[in-house]
A and B are shown apart, each in its own frame.
Chain A
């Protein structure tokens, strides 16, 4: 027993802990903060009850458009009555269970794979099977499913499709472009630089236009390439250029000693990149990368410009029907909620990865 020092625990003063302490510390520490707190509080008192009144108390949920015009509150009927068209668009009505199942598969696979410690060869094969079945479900023509042209694909499935493959393909492509830009081989380097600068020099809309209007002109007669595929390619090429620049930042931020230590062990270029450089560089740039992927997700809505009906465009179509015009707030709030849910999940997921990859203080 070596108790020499008497260890009397002294409690912190009451004003520093508990609810009062928290409020003091976070809301009223200083004049400016106190003022801001009060102003925001007043604003909330004004707005929140009004919103609740509009959105929940005075609102109607399952009425026709005509009845909606008689009520003060929100007309959520615009969402509920059109939900199937809003979500599935022009996909044949009686087959809409197919994209639904496809989306459920996609989301479950994503949720299941979110823990990267579970990643394995087996999971890879499961993904292949899942992707194949999603493809079959969407496209049909196999196993007695009626074939559905991809021009009919629309709504949420189209948004998810464009973003999922957009993100999936543009990330590795961007990494390769970033490596290429660092390459010592002049031709590869020049190609990557020109590619990145060209793509970053034009807006996505231009690329989408080119893919849908100009590109077919160059194809030999009789050859057509699926419009969705072309839009998809444009999104991938566009996003990859931005990813490449962010990754390049990560590569440059890394200490030169890491490259040298890897080289002096006798690792080949690819081993060095895969085992030492990229794991560190990509980790550094997780926040900006996720930023780009989130914008890519939202930018899929620009396919409206080439007459593809993603979920934003189906919403617009609904609002064009005379019965429902005037309820755009409600309809767009619904779409916004879907977008928010997806983007917020991505953002949360990236935080989680960042945390898991955290290693103890640098050398």
Chain B
């Protein structure tokens, strides 16, 4: 099943995310250079690379938390352009999990989860609550529903954040270093949830340095450095036989 090199060889045609010759600048600073990436439905992609290499910026461009200045980004059939009126429609299909969870501290965990379904999906409150409880069970913390985010542990908060995104029934999930703000003993509980999610067939782009996770879950691993995609390969080849010097250096540092 797993293909090496590029996604174009994949049998199932239409990519769900397409990034073509994309560039981004912060003022004068060229942060992303000629990014090309195609993601097929249900594909799992792990992005790694040194700090400041532009990983976060790249995945944030996918739901337009950041604007790109050149090239094309097409998400779920919609091109992200400056005059796009309904960016909310695209975002509703793209879940995002942040390094620092970003739960809404003034709402209970249940309300954090039902907010999107109620206001974006226009779901009746009762139905939204059932949905929320369903996903809280999936992330294994149904008993915390009525607490506030500040009252549960970091690992639990991150699982709530994942459940919050899942309640929108997104087609794509983006993870930006979801475990790097967590104590070691909590990392596993979050990764377990993500592995389950991957098994369910979710399309995922995960920025992470958890190489074990990459090996078990990823279809492709992408290595970025200085705003470029330096290397892209299926995980075994990527870890055992990195082609680029920069990749080799990076892997030797983190493994």
- Using CB atoms and an 8 Å cutoff, list the residues of chain A in contact with chain B: 255, 257-258, 260-268, 271, 275-276, 279-280, 283, 357, 359-363
Chain B, interface size category, equals 20 to 34
Q: With contacts A261-B102, A363-B102 known, what are 11 further pairs, Cβ within 8 A?
A: A260-B102, A263-B65, A265-B116, A265-B164, A267-B120, A280-B106, A357-B106, A359-B105, A359-B106, A360-B147, A361-B151
- Using CB atoms and an 8 Å cutoff, list the residues of chain B in contact with chain A: 63, 65, 88-96, 98, 100-106, 115-116, 119-120, 147-151, 157, 161, 164-165, 168
Q: Which of A265, A280, A357 has the most CB of B within 10 A?
A: A265
Q: Are the CB atoms of A264 and B149 closer together than 8 Å?
A: no
Cα of A261 to Cα of B98 in the assembled complex, Å: 8
Q: Are the CB atoms of B104 and A360 closer together than 8 Å?
A: no
Q: Are the CB atoms of A266 and B89 closer together than 8 Å?
A: yes
Q: Are the CB atoms of B168 and A266 closer together than 8 Å?
A: yes
Cα of A283 to Cα of B168 in the assembled complex, Å: 28
Cα of A114 to Cα of B115 in the assembled complex, Å: 27
Pick from B88, B96, B101: contact of A267, CB below 8 A: B88
Q: Which of A255, A280, A360 has the most CB of B within 10 A?
A: A360
Pick from B88, B98, B164: contact of A268, CB below 8 A: B88
Q: Which of A264, A267, A360, A361 has the most CB of B within 10 A?
A: A264
Pick from A258, A266, A283, A363: contact of B116, CB below 8 A: A266
Pick from A257, A279, A357, A362: contact of B150, CB below 8 A: A362
Tell me the smallest distance from the CB of A362 to a CB of chain B, in Å: 5
Q: Are the CB atoms of B98 and A257 closer together than 8 Å?
A: yes
Q: Are the CB atoms of B157 and A264 closer together than 8 Å?
A: no
5 CB contacts below 8 A, A to B, read: A260-B98, A262-B104, A265-B165, A266-B88, A360-B151
Q: Are the CB atoms of B63 and A261 closer together than 8 Å?
A: no
Q: Are the CB atoms of A363 and B119 closer together than 8 Å?
A: no
Q: Are the CB atoms of B115 and A275 closer together than 8 Å?
A: yes
Cα of A255 to Cα of B102 in the assembled complex, Å: 9
Q: Are the CB atoms of B63 and A264 closer together than 8 Å?
A: yes
Cα of A264 to Cα of B75 in the assembled complex, Å: 14
Q: Are the CB atoms of A360 and B96 closer together than 8 Å?
A: no
Q: Are the CB atoms of A271 and B119 closer together than 8 Å?
A: yes
Q: Collect the chain A residues with CB atoms within 8 Å of residue B92's CB.
A: 265-266
Q: Collect the chain B residues with CB atoms within 8 Å of residue A257's CB.
A: 98, 100, 102
Cα of A267 to Cα of B103 in the assembled complex, Å: 15
- Return the 9 tightest CB-CB contacts between A and B, nearest first: A266-B92, A261-B102, A257-B102, A361-B150, A264-B96, A266-B91, A265-B116, A360-B150, A360-B148
Cα of A280 to Cα of B149 in the assembled complex, Å: 14
Q: Collect the chain B residues with CB atoms within 8 Å of residue A363's CB.
A: 100-103, 105, 149-150, 157
